[in-house]
Amino acid sequence: MQPQQMYQACVDALRAYVRGAGFEDVVIGLSGGIDSSVVAVMAVDAFGADHVHGVLLPGPYSSDHSVDDAEALAANLGIDVRIVSICEPFEAFEHVLARACGGELAGLAAENTQARCRMVCLMAISNARGWMMLNTGNKSEACMGYSTLYGDTAGAFAPMGGVYKTDVYAMARWRNRRAAEEGAVLPIPVNVFVKLPSAELAPNQSDEDSMGIDYATLDAILLSYVERGRDAAALVAEGFDAAQVDYVIRRTDSYAFKRALEPPCPDVRFYE
């Protein structure tokens, strides 16, 4: 399926799901990254800018460009945006949980607590305003368990939950090309494409370092394993590194429990 077809399938499914649930408006956590940027553009295409609301949720490790890029995206789209810092609630959790966590809230527990602080803020706004909260996850990270339960797995619908990360970039590039051809403002800022993807939950963190594999290799393995049903031996025969194949398959299989708690996503066979 071509990027434009994939993109339109996601937009159509998003519109049908939100309208079917009786909602008029949606709210999205904007990180300045590629995933939330593409979901925001999809939402504007589905509902119009007046019905899409962005929330920037900077934390203790957020970079300046995460805020700048998210604000630039919102300006390009003409959507309502607000900033809610999670620093203060996270510090409160650090204090309250330190003793129970063995002296301090650190490591994975601290990283995931930041993600859950963001979810609490977004859901409070969703409840107060009557806006449906959208999830911004993708299939690559869901397969690898690279998501926080009750944090970035939250949301009523995941427009890109069935799309691999490399396809997210392909859709984003196509959507910007379409805008250029129409003489419109490019919706997604250039810096969103060139910077390293990061959850920004720890100093100098990058997604690929945290997962232990680059997205291009990961997605190629997942397409063969998940979509085409090929086993480890077949993947190695295709030319993939045996250690990487074993690593991806073990993680994909072991994180099925997390995927069971992911929000619904478009039921489209993207990779036939």
Q: What is the pLDDT of residues 52-90, one digit of tens each?
A: 999 999 999 988 889 999 999 999 999 999 999 999 999
In a domain, 212, yes or no: no
In a domain, 234, yes or no: no
Residue 43 structural domain: 3-202
Burial environment of residue 6 by CB neighbours within 10 A (0 to 12, 13 to 18, 19 or more): buried
Residue 198 — very low, low, confident or very high, per pLDDT cuts 50/70/90? confident
In a domain, 162, yes or no: yes
Residues forming a β-bridge with 80: 53
Residue 63 has what pLDDT? 85
In a domain, 266, yes or no: no
| Averaged confidence pLDDT in the chain | 95
Residue 1 has what pLDDT? 82
Please list, in sequence order, all residues whose beta carbon lies within 8 angstroms of the beta carbon of residue 160, skipping any fewer than 6 positions away: 10, 35, 38, 39, 42, 136, 137, 138, 139, 168, 265
Residue 129 has what pLDDT? 98
Cα-based distances in Å from 225 to 212, 231, 235, 240, 253: 18, 6, 8, 12, 11
Cα four-point dihedral sign 139, 142, 148, 149: positive
Please tell me the total count of domains within the chain. Answer: 1
Report pTM. Answer: 0.95
CATH value at residue 73? 3.40.50.620
- In the chain, DSSP finds a helix count (H) and a strand count (E) of 13, 4
Distance CA 153, CA 156 (A): 10
In a domain, 258, yes or no: no
Contact between 67 and 83 (Cβ < 8 Å): yes
Three-state DSSP class for 29? strand
In a domain, 233, yes or no: no
Count Cβ atoms below 10 Å from residue 49 Cβ, excluding itself.
15
In a domain, 270, yes or no: no
Residue 157 has what pLDDT? 98
Beta pairing class for 80-83 and 132-133: unpaired
In a domain, 115, yes or no: yes
Please list, in sequence order, all residues whose beta carbon lies within 8 angstroms of the beta carbon of residue 236, skipping any fewer than 6 positions away: 242, 245
Calculated CA dihedral for residues 261, 91, 104, 119, nearest 10 degrees: 0
